[in-house]
């Protein structure tokens, strides 16, 4: 994170992101709290759903124009002008508050969302331009965290102000708006500061597009179909967008129905408690976003997506069984953590896969599809509530949607999910660091050869690698019933003493195809911490492939619960081990076993923990 903040313009940009979300959320909270105070039952659910729909509709309508603007003009200029537009809209909102024009203020929700819809593709596309590919996941994590802090702060700040100005003798929505009218000036001030900071953002567009926008093509749908075709060019982008769409649909429905559920089932009527519980999801999203950035230190870790989806599904299913607001608050915080793990990698993945020339269009298209999903789900929620389906049944329905989402992302990211799960578990016991990653070729075949110290060696080697390592592994372990499908998907190569030649032939085939292969020349886990005899089996792999051998040494796991040595003096259970992996410079493919052992012994002598 420190390196990210050192990039010129990042801090200013994050402040702009914060103020944009803080202002948009403030008005929405005031309208929702007014509805909460005046209406009950299915009417409350319907009106809350309509408010959310007014927020979503502009993102559907502005798909083509917002994408065009983000690709055609510098993204910092789009943000600057959008922020200026927000100043005038918030002045109109404030006017509506003072004169008690509820439906006017209600409608202004749409205009404020329209400004955000224009803003959106430029705002998120700017991440890639500002921080580059190297920090794209960290940048997305920071943006998600800041946005969530803004939402969390907005919920608490504006709800507390609302409750402080509200009194029980206010019996109409018009009276409530007049009572809280001074809050409107805070919206105006936030918009003015946002505009000022946005005007200071640097222009990072390398080359401006020369495209023209034709209103006729927009109105007859030509742009819509053309832009959707651009998105469909990469299946991975489409799948990531659909996954985000299902997640946001679940979230929208949960937020729309929780107020009524808390009021009718839990007897909570104070908006501070209701909004506060939902705000804790924001605390969780901050934590989850930072976790996602940490687990994506070396590449975009899409394995976190399925983990997040599983957690979200379980929590949504359990909500109707909870009667305590304290436990409910904890569950919403967990919901936020899992949301961060899902959102950050998917957003970064979409940006990474999108060519710069179409980045704005693809991000606008992502907004378009996500909001179509959310709008459809809110319409269904409104219909179900109107015809008598209560909030509890809607929670169960969303858990089934979550189950579908989990199956979908687990299939796409199965191997990454496995390694991410193992990393989460192993990180509770270890701290990992890697040296010499620059010695690993990015576009060549690589044969990794090194010491074997624990059952976790293969996992530890894979963690910093975006490319999949094809491990040679014991055939009996390879055939374990539960893990066999994962090992196959992970392209592991089974080896046994009776069929070692076949395994080496398969390893050669993978290397010829430019893949990375790893094996342990010792053939077994060390029992004394010293390097054993290095067998010559790997020498049977023909050398007619475009690649190199990269030696490695793993330090810090000997004597752990995953090794074959149990020291008499055990380390404290709560103290994590420092595990280091060292990758040496590439060596010739014809390096013999004895030479290789000497190279790794030198690594051991140089780096081994004393």
pLDDT band at 129 (very low <50, low <70, confident <90, very high): confident
Residue 486, burial from CB neighbour count under 10 angstroms (0-12, 13-18, 19+): middle
Q: Strand 430-435 relative to strand 577-583: parallel, antiparallel, unpaired?
A: parallel
Cβ atoms of 449 and 596 within 8 Å: the answer is yes
pLDDT at position 359 is: 75
Cβ atoms of 556 and 579 within 8 Å: the answer is yes
Please say if the pLDDT value at position 610 is more than 60.
no
Residues 6+ apart with CB under 8 A from 569: none
Q: Which residue has the tokens 């590449």?
A: 299
Please say if the pLDDT value at position 520 is more than 80.
yes
Convert the pLDDT of each residue in 405-455 to its tens digit: 999 999 888 888 988 988 888 888 888 999 999 999 988 999 999 999 988
Average pLDDT score over the chain: 84
Domains, the chain: 2-204+217-424 (1.20.1250.20), 430-607 (no CATH)
582 beta partners: 435, 553
pLDDT at position 609 is: 56
Please tell me which residue, 244 or 128, carries the higher pLDDT value. 244
Residue 464, burial from CB neighbour count under 10 angstroms (0-12, 13-18, 19+): middle
Convert the pLDDT of each residue in 317-375 to its tens digit: 998 888 888 888 899 899 999 999 998 899 888 888 888 777 777 877 787 888 788 87
Please say if the pLDDT value at position 209 is more than 70.
no
* Average pLDDT estimate for 29-47: 78
Q: In angstroms, rounded to a whole number, what is the distance separating the alpha carbons of residues 131 and 124?
A: 12
Please say if the pLDDT value at position 24 is more than 90.
no
Query: How does 451-461 read in b/e, with b if 16+ C-beta sit within 10 Å?
Result: bbbbebbbbbb
pLDDT at position 408 is: 93
pLDDT at position 390 is: 73
pLDDT at position 572 is: 60
Please tell me which residue, 588 or 71, carries the higher pLDDT value. 588
Q: In angstroms, rounded to a whole number, what is the distance separating the alpha carbons of residues 316 and 395?
A: 6
Q: C-alpha distances in angstroms, 258 versus 281, 300, 314, 376, 544?
A: 13, 33, 16, 18, 63
pLDDT band at 570 (very low <50, low <70, confident <90, very high): low
pLDDT at position 136 is: 80
Please tell me which residue, 591 or 139, carries the higher pLDDT value. 591
Please say if the pLDDT value at position 589 is more than 80.
yes
Convert the pLDDT of each residue in 474-516 to its tens digit: 888 888 877 787 788 888 888 887 778 888 899 999 999 999 9
pLDDT at position 309 is: 95
């Amino acid at each position: 994170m420190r390196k990210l903040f050192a990039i010129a313009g990042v801090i200013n940009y994050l402040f702009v992101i914060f103020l944009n979300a803080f202002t948009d959320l403030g008005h929405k909270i005031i309208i929702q709290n007014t509805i909460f105070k005046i209406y009950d039952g299915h009417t409350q659910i319907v009106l809350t759903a309509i408010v959310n729909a007014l927020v979503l509709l502009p993102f559907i309508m502005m798909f083509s124009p917002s994408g065009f603007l983000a690709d055609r003009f510098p993204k910092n200029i789009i943000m600057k002008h959008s922020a200026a537009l927000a100043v005038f809209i918030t002045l109109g909102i404030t006017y509506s508050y003072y004169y008690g024009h509820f439906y006017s203020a209600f409608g202004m929700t749409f205009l404020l969302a329209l400004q955000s819809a224009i803003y959106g593709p430029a705002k998120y596309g700017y991440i890639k331009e500002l921080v580059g590919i190297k920090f794209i996941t960290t940048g997305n994590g920071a943006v998600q965290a800041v946005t969530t802090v803004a939402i969390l702060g907005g919920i608490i700040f504006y709800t507390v102000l609302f409750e402080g100005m509200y009194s029980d003798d206010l019996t109409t929505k018009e009276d409530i708006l007049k009572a809280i009218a001074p809050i409107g000036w805070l919206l105006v001030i936030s918009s003015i500061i946002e505009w000022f900071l946005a005007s200071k953002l640097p222009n990072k567009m390398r080359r401006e597009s020369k495209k023209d926008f034709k209103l006729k093509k927009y109105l007859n749908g030509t742009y819509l179909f053309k832009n959707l075709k651009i998105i469909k060019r990469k299946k991975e982008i489409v799948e990531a967008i659909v996954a985000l769409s299902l997640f946001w649909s679940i979230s929208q429905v949960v937020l729309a129905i929780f107020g009524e559920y808390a009021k009718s089932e839990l007897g909570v009527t104070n908006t501070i408690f209701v909004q506060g519980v939902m705000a804790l999801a924001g605390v969780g999203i901050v934590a989850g976003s930072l976790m996602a950035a940490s687990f994506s230190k070396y590449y975009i870790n899409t394995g976190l997506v399925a983990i997040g989806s599983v957690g979200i599904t379980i929590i949504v299913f359990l909500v109707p069984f909870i009667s305590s607001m304290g436990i409910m608050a904890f569950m919403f915080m967990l919901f936020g953590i899992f949301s961060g793990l899902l959102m950050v990698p998917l957003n970064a993945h979409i940006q990474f896969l999108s060519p710069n020339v179409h980045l704005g269009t693809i991000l606008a298209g992502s907004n378009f599809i996500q909001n179509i999903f959310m709008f459809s789900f809110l319409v269904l929620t409104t219909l179900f509530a109107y015809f008598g389906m209560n909030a509890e049944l809607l929670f169960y329905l969303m858990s089934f949607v979550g189950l579908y989402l989990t199956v979908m992302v687990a299939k796409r990211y199965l191997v990454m999910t496995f390694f991410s799960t193992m990393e989460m578990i192993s990180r509770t016991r270890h701290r990992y660091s890697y040296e010499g990653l620059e010695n690993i070729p990015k576009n060549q075949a690589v044969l990794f050869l090194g010491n074997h110290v624990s059952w976790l060696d293969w996992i530890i080697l894979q963690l910093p690698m975006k490319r999949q390592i094809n491990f040679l592994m014991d055939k009996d372990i390879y055939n374990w019933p539960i893990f066999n499908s994962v090992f196959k998907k992970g392209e592991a190569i089974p080896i046994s003493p009776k069929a070692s030649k076949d395994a080496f032939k398969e390893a050669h085939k993978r290397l010829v195809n430019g893949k990375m292969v790893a094996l342990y020349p010792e053939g077994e886990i060390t029992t004394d911490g010293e390097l054993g005899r290095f067998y010559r089996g790997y020498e049977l792999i023909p050398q007619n492939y475009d690649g190199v051998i990269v030696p490695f040494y793993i330090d810090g796991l000997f004597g752990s619960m995953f090794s074959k040595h149990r020291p008499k003096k055990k380390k404290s259970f709560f103290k994590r081990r420092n595990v280091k992996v060292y990758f040496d410079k590439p060596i010739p493919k014809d390096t013999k076993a004895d030479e290789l052992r000497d190279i790794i012994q030198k690594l051991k002598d140089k780096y081994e923990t004393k």
